[in-house]
Amino acid sequence: CQGLESLCLQGCTAIRLTDASKTALRGCSELHSLSLAGCKQLSLQSFGGVFCKDSFSNLKHLDLRDCDRICDGCLRHISNYLHSLESLNLSFCISITDEGLVAIAKGLPRLRTLKLRSIDTIS
């Protein structure tokens, strides 16, 4: 997917990141915007193979809204590897806590927009 700058997989509730799809996504080095909103199968295991060193170095906008299985471990992956992020939508991600938000705050110096709508697990 060389040259691809924006990818929207929003609402793909059954999407599972296989090894092949993880490799394909990591090859999208010019991606600036990625929406995985509503992808209910995303989990910490998925993140380990996609958001890693040297992947998505140009990503500025990430939408993970309504991904129930996104957890603090996922947020640590994001903060460790997606240093170019300027906006992050975590609304309705009901499994994250203050611990994950601390990781985001410390690891993403360029972050300008953080959406946290309807998350009862943070203070």
Instruction: State residue 123's pLDDT score.
Output: 86
Query: Residue 118 and residue 122: Cα distance in Å, rounded?
Result: 10
pTM beyond cutoff 0.85: yes
Q: Is the pLDDT score of 16 beyond 70?
A: no
Instruction: State residue 39's pLDDT score.
Output: 86
Phi (first) and psi of residue 113, to 5 degrees: -130, 125
Average pLDDT over residues 13-17: 64
Q: Is the pLDDT score of 106 beyond 90?
A: yes
Average pLDDT over residues 94-109: 96
Query: 46-77 burial, b for 16+ CB within 10 Å, e for fewer?
Result: bbebbbeeebbeebbbbbbbbbebbbbbbbbb
36-73 pLDDT per residue, tens: 999 888 888 877 777 777 778 899 999 999 998 999 99
